[in-house]
Chain A
Amino acid sequence: MRLSKSASDDRWHVRPDGVGKVTGELKYLTDMRLPGMLHGKVLRSPHPHAWILSIRTEKASRLPGVHAVITHEDVPGMNRFGIAFPDQPALCEDRVRYVGDAVAAVAAETEELAEYALGLIEVDYEPLPVIDSPEAGLDPAAPKLHPAGNVLHRTNYKRGDAEEAFSRCAYVVEGTYETPRQMHTYLETEGGLFVPEPHGRLTIYSATQHGFKDRMQLSRILGMPEACIRVVSSPIGGSFGGKDELNVQPYGALLALKSGKPVKMHNTRKESVRAGIKRHPMKIRMKTGIDGEGRIIAHQVRITADTGAYATLGAPVLNFATEHASGPYRIGHVDIEGISVYTNNGVSGEFRGFGGNQVVFAMEGQMDRLAEAAGIDPWQLRHINLRGMGDPGPFAQRIVQTDGARQVWASVAECALWSNRHDRSGRPEEPWLRIGTGAAITMHGAGLGFGIPDPAGGTLRLTADGKIQAAFGYEEFGQGLLASLELMLKDLFCCAAGDLEIVIGDTDRVPHSGSSTASRATSMMWMALQRMKGPFKSRLLGKASELTGLPAERLETGPGGVYEKGGEGPLVTYKEVAAACGEPLSTHTEFHYPTTPDAIMGAHYLYTYAAVCVKVMVNLLTGRVKVLDQYHAVAAGPVINPQGYLGQIEGGSVMALGFTLTEDALMDGGQYVTKNLDTYLIPTLSDIHERFELHAIEELPEGDSFGPRGVGEVGSVALAPAIVSAIHDATGVRIAKLPVSPEKLQRHFARILAGEGEEAS
């Protein structure tokens, strides 16, 4: 269906967290305060790489109004964190590896005082040579950033014999693609409130995508049992992967414990830029060959990722990039190698799309180049090679079958934007404005992949006051999880919103249900409810049957209580049912995210498919590119929450627009050049054109038991190659480095305007 408000009828749903957000009443965790609270600040390294010779904190500690100053000596437990591989010091002992590295922290009565106290901490450094690129890190003479050297992770995937197959190709193209250090730019910077409680407990109000994982890591750092820590983690002012890793939590927690007072932390934007994780910059070399019929027979890929100073999710991101580097295509001979290298640049980690964006940009670029070389329509070339129902996944693993690839391909093939791409009418008169159309396609895995613990679950309860309570360990960071859950529960129980109580984002109150990441939460809530609805309803109706004397088969749930089927008004209210239950009625489920039966590390089982077509206008004088029209086709199964679905694709695509045209957290010698939103430019309304169409393909094969697939990431993946393809269509210039540089384009265009033809690259 064409996804819009009017096409969605009453499923277009006002979010339960909406009123608080539009009135400003909603308190985010960084808005919280308590009487007598202190303000925490972190002292970060001025050097991208240096030895720490000494740290002296006496002057800062003596300052009236300063209640705690901490260094590594104050970390009672393990002084390391990292969601997959803990190698990042909470507070550095002897060495700093990037400009976000924390050396000390202070809690004081005011923010100004805390800031002032930081200036009184004396640290002696001995600067070390800076590794400012993966190439520099791989130099055998480079200093080692970590005991095992500068390589965080290598990947390798081979199928067939690519080398030999290239010799049989009719056309072979080679390209080197580069992608930027994109910043999440969630509008709420990192922070929260850290509260020491009676009996030695600690409550942490701070954003994360996985409260239980934070609790586990904090328990290690603080040397405190997990049961003594409560993590409250919603609502969140945006994350996009950027708050999944610990950020201010270790400092807030340590300062609160040391001072015995509540401590508030809230990073400034500058500090957030400096310390926060970014999308992995990647350099991708690809060599791809087709036979005379246009079938890809050989594909060689070399990926180099700049993972920055610490591991965080660098290894899984590289695994994901390796898996997705063949696109949704059948290829006989594949040879992929990836390497993720430590540098003294900012830390790279998880970011919406998880490494898929980078390699899909490259792969789709290759497809366009091959099409041109062979004189085949680029969309047709994709069709020739597209995986079909029944084909295995990119690592030849078994995957859940859908016809998504062909569905999204066909949707774009038939859309007006693509069909009319050669129509020259209505084009601007000005000779310096050019219009072009391009398209790209992707498949995108959801869940963490084979070999990684990826638990899911949830709880349904009937509370004493007659609410159907659903508790999940997921977080609302803006994606609309609460709205989706409310819609699913209303579908299941035909009840009113007022009958529901949704509990998320509080480790004291919710079950373990895995992280809100990898486009998995909606799927996992849906699957959990499928498992719980039967037992919960039958117990609820069983109780109602005892109360009403009617057999359970004649009863059903509805607004306010239990009805006789087809009857008017509830026979018993939920509250009456709850009161009649001896012990609270509740159902719980625990299961694992579905994984492929083939033991290939990181390989996915469930995929979402998307294809994008865009029309752009290029100004040959300024080198600026404007997207005029977009068509997105997404095959992700049933649409649970149309407003949320549309919002995810629109928002993801505009984030990808920034990735393509303007966003790059530039670094020079390990220092950020772009420090705030005056030089790091994300799209504004004027960068967006009103024309945007989304075709949501809901059909799944008969008998599919996996339900809705996630759409949180897929809208951000295929736009960049589509735009770059459209720029080529408009001007003949092929771009291989993002963000597209207007200066570079101008240089190409100078030649075009001088009448020297359009062939450039």
Chain B
Amino acid sequence: MAQPGLIYWKSEVNGVETVLSVSPSLRLIDLLRDKLELTGPKLSCGIGRCGACMVLLDGKPVNACLVMAYQCSGKRITTVEGISGQELHPIQQAFLTEGGFQCGYCTPGMIVTLKALLDENPSPSRGELEAGLCGNLCRCTGYGGIERAVRQFVKARSGTEPTTSGELAAGMDAH
């Protein structure tokens, strides 16, 4: 039973059945960071622009700063902490070897978004990658290392090079 003023919240978080009494005005990001101490998802802009708070909701990336906790009750939630098993996920591994991060504050959100993107589309074109990562900001790397990590991951998984920028440039308009 939930306490007065609170709601009953039950979800599977990183594979673990989790039950809480929470305020109906609680954002998912606060539930994760403050109540469950899952601080992998970061809070940066609070308005859905930076992607630092990205988590998977039933496998789809969402900004945890934009959804209310109650909206996620009964759903499957995966944070960056739930992405790796015994071993690092190959995307995480690629970030490590290619230098896909510096301060690392954007990294959990990046990895979560990329996991969803690459699960759905194992060999994205540059344009698809741009679209997929348009909601994830990184201030440190200039995206060079992140892009190398993705290419490395795609190559390792499929044995093929992702679409090169040359093809992309031909059809490109400057915004």
Contact = CB atoms under 8 A, between A and B. Distances in A.
Interface of A: 5, 12, 14-15, 17-28, 31, 33, 184-189, 235-238, 240, 266, 268-270, 430, 433, 477-480, 617-619, 622, 624-626, 628, 643-644, 646-647, 650-655, 676-678, 682-686, 688-692
B148 interface: yes
B102 A622 contact: no
B9 interface: no
Nearest to B39: A31
B92 A653 contact: no
28 contacts: A14-B96, A20-B104, A22-B96, A22-B100, A22-B107, A23-B84, A24-B107, A28-B42, A184-B139, A238-B139, A479-B102, A617-B174, A624-B174, A626-B172, A647-B99, A647-B144, A650-B142, A650-B143, A650-B144, A650-B145, A652-B142, A655-B142, A676-B45, A676-B46, A677-B44, A678-B45, A682-B139, A685-B143
A196 B95 CA distance: 38
Contact of A690 (B37, B45, B147): B147
Given A478-B104, A617-B174, A187 B138 contact: yes
Nearest to A480: B102
A684 B129 CA distance: 11
Interface in B106-155: 106-108, 111, 126, 129-131, 133-134, 136-148
Given A33-B37, A682-B137, A187 B50 contact: yes
A27 to B, nearest CB: 6
Given A26-B104, A187-B137, A688 B143 contact: yes
B103 to A, nearest CB: 3
A676 B47 contact: yes
B108 to A, nearest CB: 4
B101 interface: yes
A675 to B, nearest CB: 10
Contacts of B131: 686
Contacts of B17: none
Contacts of B169: 628, 689
Given A5-B148, A480-B102, A677-B50, 10 more contacts: A27-B39, A186-B139, A187-B50, A187-B105, A188-B103, A266-B43, A430-B173, A433-B174, A618-B174, A651-B102
B92 A23 contact: yes
List the 4 closest A-B pairs by CB distance, nearest first. A24-B40, A478-B103, A21-B104, A237-B105
B3 to A, nearest CB: 15
Contacts of B92: 22-23
Contact of A676 (B42, B49, B104): B49
Contacts of A654: 141-143
B155 to A, nearest CB: 13
Given A25-B40, A647-B141, A690-B165, A18 B126 contact: no
A480 B88 CA distance: 21
B80 interface: yes
B56 interface: no
Contact of A477 (B80, B101, B103): B103
**Residue among A19, A22, A31, A690 facing the most chain B CB atoms (10 A cut-off):** A22
B174 A684 contact: no
Interface of B: 33-34, 37-47, 49-50, 52, 79-81, 83-84, 88, 92, 95-108, 111, 126, 129-131, 133-134, 136-148, 164-165, 169, 172-175
Most chain B CB within 10 A, of A12, A21, A624, is at A21
B13 to A, nearest CB: 13
A688 B104 contact: no
Contact of B45 (A18, A240, A677): A677
Contact of A655 (B111, B139, B144): B139
Contacts of A270: 46
Contact of B44 (A12, A17, A187): A187
Contacts of A268: 46
A14 B88 CA distance: 14
Contacts of B129: 685
A122 to B, nearest CB: 26
A104 B156 CA distance: 55
A678 B97 CA distance: 32
Nearest to B165: A690
B82 to A, nearest CB: 9
B15 to A, nearest CB: 15
B175 A269 contact: no
Contacts of A678: 45, 47, 49
Given A22-B92, A622-B175, A188 B46 contact: no
Contacts of A655: 139, 142
Given A22-B111, A24-B108, A684 B133 contact: yes
B134 A23 contact: no
A22 B88 contact: yes
A619 B175 contact: yes
B81 A25 contact: yes
Contacts of A651: 102, 139-142, 144
Contact of A685 (B40, B52, B96, B134): B134
Contacts of A643: 99, 145
Contacts of A19: 88, 96
Given A626-B174, A676-B49, A690-B147, A187 B106 contact: yes
Given A18-B101, A24-B79, A238 B133 contact: no
B174 A21 contact: no
Nearest to B92: A22
Q: Which of A33, A237, A676 has the most CB of B within 10 A?
A: A237
Nearest to B30: A111
Contacts of A652: 142
A185 B106 CA distance: 12
Given A24-B80, A433-B173, A677 B103 contact: no
Contacts of B137: 185, 187, 677, 682, 684
Given A187-B44, A678-B49, A686-B130, A624 B142 contact: no
B40 A619 contact: no
A187 B108 CA distance: 12
A686 B146 CA distance: 13
Contacts of B142: 647, 650-655, 683, 688
A23 B33 CA distance: 15
Contacts of B134: 684-686
Nearest to B49: A677
A619 B174 contact: yes
B112 to A, nearest CB: 9
A24 B106 CA distance: 10
A685 B103 contact: no
A187 B139 contact: yes
Given A21-B104, A23-B84, A238-B140, A622 B147 contact: no
A64 B83 CA distance: 41
Nearest to A18: B96
Contacts of A188: 42, 44, 103, 105
Contacts of B102: 238, 478-480, 647, 651
Given A187-B137, A650-B145, A682-B139, A21 B47 contact: no
A113 B137 CA distance: 31
A17 B95 CA distance: 12
A477 B92 CA distance: 20
A19 B84 CA distance: 11
A21 B101 contact: yes
A266 B42 CA distance: 12
A690 B97 CA distance: 19
Nearest to B169: A628
Contacts of A691: 165
Contact of A238 (B40, B105, B145, B172): B105
Nearest to A266: B43
